[in-house]
Structure 1
Amino acid sequence: MSDRLKSTLNVSNEEVIEDLTKDLELALRSGDDGDFVVSPGSRAEDFQPSAGDSARESHPGDIPLSDEDPDKTSKAESDKEDSDTDSIDSVSLKDAEVELTEDQKEERRVIAETLKVAGNEAYRVAEYEKCIEKYTEALRLCPLKYSEQRSILYCNRSAAKMKLEKYKKAIKDCTKAIELDDKYLKAYYRRAQCYEATDKLDECLADYKKILELDPSHKEAKTATLRLPAMIEERNEKLKTEMLGKLKDLGNMILKPFGLSTENFQLEQDSESKGYKINFKQ
């Protein structure tokens, strides 16, 4: 154990961890004591084309926000570790469009719009898997030049995934929607909900702040920016306590051969700097 750790009255967290880690590495290398061992249904042709949607929140073609709010009391993550069957290969799509005429691209856009309508209807009757299939088919068909329409498709698909509690995948779709339209308020809102459902509170707060930039009157965002800071602080304190507990266990393991324990060190928090100091007592 280093002399600095025994004798210094005011030691930073970083120095304490550095000392403990250094001693642990030396002890593990020595190998002198065993105590150191760490141990799809309908097709596009069945539907008639409908008018394109705006990427803005008020357009009726976009799935309403009120329909897909996640249960705030449940933090369970149900995303499965299966293959991503609804992924969109933009590179392949771009290559496939090279030989298309403008008329052919417009024809694909119309079919994609029809598929979106089918997806919206599936969502309305709670057929969320079918809904996702329709939006995915539309995204694989809709030309890249129609970024607004593609943004809506991604955002609508995220709503269906939220209903299935596939929050991680919903976050990816919201992010794609935002990449295509960085002022898409609804995509930010859905992503913020998903972040909160997966305990990503810092990211959640950032999205709500962005929403207020786009719409200062947004009620939910206002409320969230008031309640989330306290939740983040509480979480950080919990993590700090857990970290100190693990550090104490590590310290006891290292100090045992020297006839010491973490009880020989008094940890005090400075009221001003919020940092910690360690006092050694025999």
Structure 2
Amino acid sequence: MSGEDYPSDDDRSFVSAKSSHDVHTGSRFSPEEEASLLAESNKLKSDANSLFAHGSFEEAVQTYDRALSSCPNYLEYEIAVLHSNISACHIKAEQWKEATDSATKSIESLERIDPLPKPKVAQDASRGKLQAQSAVEEIDDETAEKIEALEKSGRTRDDVQKIRVKAFLRRAKARSETGGWAALQGAYEDYAFLSTIPTLSPLDKKTVQRSMREIGPKLDDAKSKEMAEMMSKLKGLGNTMLKPFGLSTNNFQFVKDENSGGYSMNFNQNT
């Protein structure tokens, strides 16, 4: 399987951390306290990696959670790595919702460090619609400070991108296994994003291309099935409301106008 199946995203240690209560207080620990907390978190992460390697996925998740509790919350990179590793555990245990949620948390942490470029939007005068153009990277002062702090800690934006790729691969995998129109659509969008990354490894690129081909037909089938189920429920509700009047939804027929694409409604008392 592709690289997203392995939880050990990053085992390097460095001094620069945050506390679990900082998200509420906004305070930072002293360098000494940060170093101690991070060392404890890294030790727990190493233990969790070992548990994963031996197939003890539930115990690995619990240990990664303890590592998260020890890791200061303003150190988004470390938090992202741990959430991504937790997602890998849930995938191995076929816990698709939990895997999706953990991967999303990883992606959100990385977004707070180094936001993805936002697509430039322009007005298409000929059709009156907003059209997305090439992505434009705009780095504000706060993001620039976070990137600078990241680089001082020994990390780079390339490191962030590597974890981001793994998190997106894991979320896409979990969503595709969840099934259903919304989940499959989300998986397709994740794979579509990954397909735009020029530094994607050949193995991951192959995984993305194959997955997009496989999801296409499943997405169409899920959409048709869910639309049919929704229409059936609406018809049942309509029949309940019309029954006191001696009518049913069969009395109403919708006819499509092939020229305009709109619909007109005909009433048939004898249906």
Q: Which TM class, normalised by the smaller chain length?
A: 0.5 to 0.7
Counterpart in the other structure of 1:255: 242
Instruction: Provide the C-alpha distance between the structure 1 equivalents of 2:229 and 2:7, rounded to a whole number of angstroms.
Output: 48
TM superposition score normalised by structure 2? 0.63
1:126 has 2:51 as partner: no
1:271, CA displacement in angstroms? 5.8
CA offsets 1:190-221 (integer angstroms, 9 cap, x no match):
01111122221111111111111224651122
1:188 paired residue among 168, 181, 186: 168
**What is the identity percentage for the equivalent residue pairs of Structure 1 and Structure 2?**
31
Kindly provide the amino acid, as one letter, of the partner of residue 103 in structure 1.
Answer: E
1:189, CA displacement in angstroms? 0.7
Shift in CA distance, 112/239, structure 1 to aligned 2, threshold 3 Å: same
Instruction: Provide the C-alpha distance between the structure 2 equivalents of 1:214 and 1:227, rounded to a whole number of angstroms.
Output: 20
Give the SS at the match of 2:82. helix
Q: Bigger relative contact order, structure 1 or 2, given CA contacts below 8 A and separation 6+?
A: 1
Kindly provide the amino acid, as one letter, of the partner of residue 211 in structure 1.
Answer: L
Instruction: Provide the C-alpha distance between the structure 1 equivalents of 2:23 and 2:254, rounded to a whole number of angstroms.
Output: 60
Instruction: Provide the C-alpha distance between the structure 1 equivalents of 2:7 and 2:100, rounded to a whole number of angstroms.
Output: 22
Give the SS at the match of 1:62. coil
Instruction: Provide the C-alpha distance between the structure 1 equivalents of 2:257 and 2:208, rounded to a whole number of angstroms.
Output: 35
> Over the residues paired in the alignment, what is the CA RMSD in angstroms?
3.1
Counterpart in the other structure of 1:40: none
Q: For 1:270-281, what aligned pairs fall within 5 Å after superposition?
A: 276-281=263-268
1:175, CA displacement in angstroms? 1.3
1:243 paired residue among 208, 213, 230: 230
CA offsets 1:174-199 (integer angstroms, 9 cap, x no match):
11211222431000010111112222
Instruction: Provide the C-alpha distance between the structure 1 equivalents of 2:96 and 2:87, rounded to a whole number of angstroms.
Output: 8
Counterpart in the other structure of 1:151: 80
1:111 has 2:98 as partner: no
Give the SS at the match of 1:279. strand
2:66 paired residue among 137, 146, 166: 137
Counterpart in the other structure of 1:62: 9
Give the SS at the match of 1:278. strand
Instruction: Provide the C-alpha distance between the structure 2 equivalents of 1:123 and 1:272, rounded to a whole number of angstroms.
Output: 60
1:244, CA displacement in angstroms? 2.3
Counterpart in the other structure of 1:201: 184
- State whether residues 253 and 266 of structure 2, in contact with CA within 8 Å, keep that contact through their aligned partners in structure 1: yes
- State whether residues 97 and 143 of structure 1, in contact with CA within 8 Å, keep that contact through their aligned partners in structure 2: no
Kindly provide the amino acid, as one letter, of the partner of residue 58 in structure 2.
Answer: E
CA offsets 1:12-55 (integer angstroms, 9 cap, x no match):
xxxxxxxxxxxxxxxxxxxxxxxxxxxxxxxxxxxxxxxxxxxx
1:272, CA displacement in angstroms? 7.0
CA offsets 1:127-167 (integer angstroms, 9 cap, x no match):
11221122111111122343322211111111112223332
Compare the two structures and name the one with the higher strand fraction.
2
Shift in CA distance, 228/278, structure 1 to aligned 2, threshold 3 Å: farther
Instruction: Provide the C-alpha distance between the structure 1 equivalents of 2:248 and 2:258, rounded to a whole number of angstroms.
Output: 26
- State whether residues 172 and 187 of structure 2, in contact with CA within 8 Å, keep that contact through their aligned partners in structure 1: yes
Instruction: Provide the C-alpha distance between the structure 2 equivalents of 1:272 and 1:235, rounded to a whole number of angstroms.
Output: 29
Unaligned runs of 5+ in 1: 1-55, 64-89
Which of the two has higher C-alpha Rg? 1
Shift in CA distance, 267/241, structure 1 to aligned 2, threshold 3 Å: farther
